[in-house]
Structure 1
Amino acid sequence: MNRLKRAFTFGSPAELARIGVILALLGLIIFGGLRYDNFLSAFNILSFLRYNSMFALIALGMTFVIITGGIDLSVGATAAMASVVAALLSGHHWAAGLGGGVLAGLAVGILNGFLVSRMRIQPFIATLATMLAASGTGLLLAGNQSVSVSYDTGFTAIGQDDFLGFPIAAWIAGLAYVVGWLVLEKRPVGRHILAIGDGEQTARMMGLNVERNLALVYAASGALAGLAGVILASQFGAGQPTEGVGWELFAIAAVVVGGTLLTGGSGSVGATLAGALLLGMVFNILNFENGLGWISLSAYWQSIIRGAFLLGVVILQARLQQRVKLS
């Protein structure tokens, strides 16, 4: 349990990363507010929260998966497939679209959990297989084209409307993070998940049901990806079977930037949210910078910057871990 103890010791790599991501996020907000005229406008803030709620949701699920020492490569394809299912069902009722999308994601998550916990297949291979299956299923259901949602049942309100001055999608993501924080920090299952990441064999010796907890973690990741797909369909007015490419990388990046160790056994829901917002803020600032005309970065260059940013964080995390081991 040494790794688990180090993760919650002040000055550990995880603790330093969590503090660093919050400071970096605050620094970017101050920089953007001082440099760009409309950066802190209500329109930009609400648009930012509305759009990034999808990525925050898949990052939340990825946090729990990575804490166990696993990985879920299927979240992007699952969200895309769920967006198609939600669009197809949105004509019946907004609740049908919402429930159908979440259940589609949950089904993929349950399959992932079964493959990892019962079949003992490595998470990378298991979720790679379901990623391909979910992507193909989404394309098959959509007929290889976007699927329009119904505008008569109120389904689009989920991704486009506001409640008490904030986007409904942001409220959904915020509520999901509150529940995630309570599970990880206040419930026994949270301690069990941390223990599994710290060492499966040790967790078994402690009498923990490793298989059940792994199944729950992957099911939750799938359901959250499905919920992100619902917001995707509602926000853009169509199910997008070709969307979701690279979403899993964004989620992993947000989790790692937030200080969760890829080796498992440590993690923070709040820091993951800060990491997701930080990555979204980087591209929000790049868009504003493009508007000033000083630079002109295409989406390809933005992907390069994202990769370089993630690489820098991973290298820093590795250096901090090495320093703690030597101390």
Structure 2
Amino acid sequence: MFSALLRPKSAGDLARLGVLLALAALILFGALRYDNFISPFNILSCLRYNSMFALIALGMCFVIITGGIDLSVGGVAALASVVSAFASPYGWAAGMAAGMAAGLAFGLLNGFMITGMRIQPFIATLAAMLASYGLALLLADNQSVSVSYDTAFTMIGQEDLLGFPIPAWIALFAFVIGWVFLERLPAGRHVLAVGDGEATALLMGLKVRRIVFFVYAASGLLAGLAGTILAAQFGAGQPTEGVGWELFAIASVVVGGTLLTGGAGSVGATLAGVLLLGMVFNVLNFENGLGWISLSAYWQSVIRGLFLLVVVILQARISARSPREAS
């Protein structure tokens, strides 16, 4: 996934390479400044926690490549965490299936509203976000829903496999599938073509509505899986969790070099963007521990917003410069 990023051929590739360099520089900085920054415990904890964000960022990557947006991923994840918690007494498989089904249902709803009812993605997914949060609060009676510890449900979020967190294995598997789909299958090129211009894609004979419907369904499914991991990792369904997750996902995708206008993107660079943002917050936590600064969790939203703003500005400048360079 990352090999293509090391051979920049365009301004977009150069931007993606910059994400890897920034990630490497941040890791080096943390290793030199903080004790235990590169300890197995910190690395695995960081991977375990950020696996949820990686999953929703993967779905968001495909949505943004088509030129759309999905604001509902945080609310869908919160709802899926509640649903999976209710299903957890029936086993880990039932809990996972229930959470993913809840996410897929909202993904299908988003896809139908956008392709069938011709509602703008921003409005459709905003409505789905409000509906999913409301439904999560109704089902949970405005409180956390404890999962069952009598089954192996918590294994999904808390245990390791071959020394690697199970949530990270799940996210890695999803990203491998996403990379193969986008880079090696004709369907991936069709997704890119839709983002490059729906009119052109229609002239090429592509089923644009079906492709757009598919990416929103996939985004909902991945958000549902992230919600399942959330419930398993923290031992409870969280109806009020997920606020700002859509911003983290968008920031990760855009930081990874995917254009908000669609038509270009990279699964590997999106993963690098997730790791970069996750590492930034990890560094801030260590800095808080040293006592030099004292930032509350609310600053995370501020930092995500600043990251998104800076990268969008850089993207706009690169896009404006590329045509002149080509000519």
TM-score by length of 2: 0.96
Alignment of 1:144-159 (within 5 A): 144-159=142-157
Partner of 2:68: 70
Give the gaps of 5 or more residues in structure 2.
1-6
Instruction: For residue 317 of structure 1, report the CA deviation from its aligned partner.
Output: 1.2
In structure 1, distance between residues paired with 2:84 and 2:21: 38
1:186 partner letter: R
Contact 2:8 2:17 in 1 (8 A): no
In structure 2, distance between residues paired with 1:41 and 1:288: 13
In structure 1, distance between residues paired with 2:211 and 2:9: 29
- SS of the residue corresponding to residue 38 of structure 1 reads coil
In structure 1, distance between residues paired with 2:273 and 2:203: 34
Contact 1:12 1:320 in 2 (8 A): no
**Does 1:171 find its partner at 2:140?**
no
In structure 2, distance between residues paired with 1:321 and 1:255: 17
1:53-100 CA distances to partner (integer Å, 9 max, x unpaired)?
Answer: 000000000000000000000000000000000000001111110000
**Does 1:113 find its partner at 2:111?**
yes
Instruction: For residue 325 of structure 1, report the CA deviation from its aligned partner.
Output: 2.0
1:298 partner letter: S
Instruction: Select 2:79's aligned residue among 78, 81, 87.
Output: 81
In structure 1, distance between residues paired with 2:114 and 2:10: 30
Partner of 1:276: 274
Instruction: Select 1:297's aligned residue among 277, 295, 298.
Output: 295
Partner of 2:4: none
Partner of 1:4: none
Instruction: Select 1:50's aligned residue among 35, 43, 48.
Output: 48
Contact 2:190 2:206 in 1 (8 A): yes
Give the gaps of 5 or more residues in structure 1.
1-8
Instruction: For residue 292 of structure 1, report the CA deviation from its aligned partner.
Output: 0.6
- SS of the residue corresponding to residue 90 of structure 1 reads helix
**Does 1:246 find its partner at 2:244?**
yes
**Does 1:134 find its partner at 2:132?**
yes
1:96-149 CA distances to partner (integer Å, 9 max, x unpaired)?
Answer: 100000000000000111111111111001101111111111111101100000
In structure 1, distance between residues paired with 2:294 and 2:131: 37
In structure 1, distance between residues paired with 2:195 and 2:76: 24
2:167 partner letter: A
Instruction: Select 1:230's aligned residue among 228, 231, 236.
Output: 228
- SS of the residue corresponding to residue 286 of structure 2 reads helix
In structure 2, distance between residues paired with 1:53 and 1:205: 39
Partner of 1:195: 193
2:24 partner letter: L
- SS of the residue corresponding to residue 106 of structure 2 reads helix
1:30-59 CA distances to partner (integer Å, 9 max, x unpaired)?
Answer: 110111111001110110000000000000
Instruction: For residue 305 of structure 1, report the CA deviation from its aligned partner.
Output: 2.4
- SS of the residue corresponding to residue 118 of structure 2 reads coil
Contact 1:62 1:251 in 2 (8 A): yes
In structure 2, distance between residues paired with 1:80 and 1:302: 19
Instruction: For residue 10 of structure 1, report the CA deviation from its aligned partner.
Output: 4.3
1:72 partner letter: D
Instruction: For residue 314 of structure 1, report the CA deviation from its aligned partner.
Output: 1.2
Contact 1:69 1:264 in 2 (8 A): yes
In structure 2, distance between residues paired with 1:302 and 1:145: 24
Partner of 2:57: 59
Contact 1:81 1:241 in 2 (8 A): yes
Contact 2:247 2:304 in 1 (8 A): no
In structure 2, distance between residues paired with 1:66 and 1:269: 12
In structure 2, distance between residues paired with 1:317 and 1:11: 16
In structure 2, distance between residues paired with 1:312 and 1:213: 31
Contact 1:13 1:317 in 2 (8 A): no
Contact 1:53 1:169 in 2 (8 A): yes
1:64 partner letter: F
